[in-house]
Amino acid sequence: MYLYLLFGLVAWFLYSYLLGLFANYHNKFGNKVVIIVGASSGLGEELALQIAQYHPKGLLLAARRLDKLEEIKKKCELRGANSVTILKADITSQSDCRNIINVTIDQYQKIDILFLNAGIAMTSSLYKLTDPEPLKRVFETDLVGVVNTAFYALPALRISKGHIVVTSSAYGKIPGLGLSAYCASKHALHGFFDCLRVEETRNNIHVTLVCPGYIKTAIHDRALGSDGKEVGSHKKTALFAYTETTISVAANNILKATATNQTEVCFPFLVNFAVRLRGIIGPGVFDWILYGSK
């Protein structure tokens, strides 16, 4: 048993290393038009800064906080982005989702890569809720807004044979205590975008689903509590809290997966291992071992 685990560990590191050697970032991002939704902080900001160094033709950054986008725009221009456009948008608004795409087409005439990174978290067990409204808010942001934006981008992506990169989560593959709305939204993203990938194969559209564990961002502190308000300071007691990844490493992993057209990527290693293990031993056994569920 231990030999199999050791072999799997070595094989995974070797695969990751070799894959990195074939990642042509300049070819993937250079002189391309890239949209990043949810770009005003955290992972979205880091993705914008790392992509900027490969000199994209156009970089459209969309988020609710325009002042933060102004700061990031200046940083991206200093790092080498040829043109940066910022746009105030809330993806819970269907018209804002459509506008993100329309503004990009008007400005750059095409779309090559769409990063769907906007999202909110929720940390509350269902028995603590007195109203389902917080669940609805998570669904509208993490699922409906993401789907709407991708839908409006499809005509342009079919022309460019483009790429959609969706920030899911390890909790889009397995359950987590107190994360019902978040898990549900992320699980649904996999159902939708896996189907989209199959349907759009004939149009050569790539779809990558990104499943990280905990990333060191403020999303945890802005998570909704049982009362629908931001918790302010979230104690990271969930399953993957101890595997927390820095924003820089997480963004680099996402860009590598994008540059090599991976279908799905889970990181770090222990998160990837847990996700694969659940698939092997089955959800009943896995959930019983971790949570004592029956």
| Separation of alpha carbons 184 and 175, rounded Å | 9
Residue 266 DSSP code: E
Please report the pLDDT score of residue 169 as a whole number.
92
- For residue 186, being part of any structural domain is answered with yes
In a domain, 253, yes or no: yes
The residue among 206, 208, 212 whose CA lies nearest residue 249 is 212
Task: Judge whether 99 lies within some domain.
Answer: yes
SS3 call for 130: coil
Any domain includes 293? no
Answer whether residue 10 is part of any domain: no
Active-site annotation, residues: 182
Question: What's the CATH number where 229 sits?
Answer: 3.40.50.720
Q: Which of 100, 107, 96, 116 is nearest to 33 (CA)?
A: 107
Q: State both tokens at 248.
A: 């820089």
Confidence (pLDDT) at 23: 83
Is residue 9, in this structure, part of any structural domain at all? no
Residue 288 lies in a domain: no
Give me the tens of pLDDT residue by residue for the chain, a chain 294 residues long: 546 555 665 565 566 656 666 789 999 999 999 999 999 989 999 999 999 999 999 999 999 999 999 999 999 999 999 999 999 999 999 999 999 999 999 999 999 999 999 888 766 566 666 677 778 888 999 999 999 999 999 999 999 999 999 999 998 998 888 788 889 999 999 999 999 999 999 999 999 999 998 887 655 555 555 554 655 555 555 555 667 889 999 999 999 999 999 999 999 888 888 888 898 899 999 888 888 876
Distance between CA 162 and CA 112 in Å, rounded? 5
Identify whether 251 is part of a domain: yes
Q: What pLDDT does residue 118 have?
A: 85
Range of the domain at 33: 25-279
Torsion of CA 140, 142, 144, 146, to 10 degrees: 140
Give the total number of structural domains in the chain: 1
Q: What is the pLDDT of residue 240?
A: 58
pTM: 0.88
Q: What is the pLDDT of residues 195-248, one digit of tens each?
A: 999 999 999 999 999 999 888 765 555 555 555 465 555 555 555 566 788 999
